[in-house]
């Protein structure tokens, strides 16, 4: 789920990411409270409002709880640039 969302964001597909997030939440309403959904939602919101600080904060917060692996780090770096 996180990888799919990150890949959509890396393609600058904010609408596709929003649709995917909504689809996951429709399939499993409990997922709305999951750390992954909250992370992707925060990234989506930050990118949608062009808020680089919020993007960095979301990444830092996620990494402090669950360290980001190489794939996620690489994709997040691509998204941020």
Q: Is the pTM higher than 0.85?
A: yes
Number of domains present in the structure of the chain? 1
Mean pLDDT over residues 29-37, rounded?
87
Read off the pLDDT of residues 38-47 as tens digits, 9 standing for 90 and up. 999 999 999 9
Q: Please report the pLDDT score of residue 63 as a whole number.
A: 95
Our CA dihedral for 72, 75, 78, 80, rounded to 10 degrees, sits at -50
Asked if 32 and 38 count as a contact pair (C-beta separation under 8 A), the reply is no
28-42 burial: b if 16+ Cβ within 10 Å, else e = eeeeeeeebbebbbb
pLDDT of the residue at 8: 93
């Amino acid at each position: 789920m996180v990888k799919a969302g990150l890949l959509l964001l890396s393609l600058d597909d904010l609408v596709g990411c929003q649709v995917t997030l909504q689809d996951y939440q429709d399939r499993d309403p409990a997922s709305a409270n999951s750390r992954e959904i909250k992370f992707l939602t925060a990234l989506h919101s930050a990118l949608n409002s062009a808020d680089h600080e919020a993007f960095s904060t979301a990444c830092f917060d996620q990494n402090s709880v669950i360290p980001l692996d190489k794939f996620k780090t690489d994709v997040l770096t691509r998204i941020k640039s």
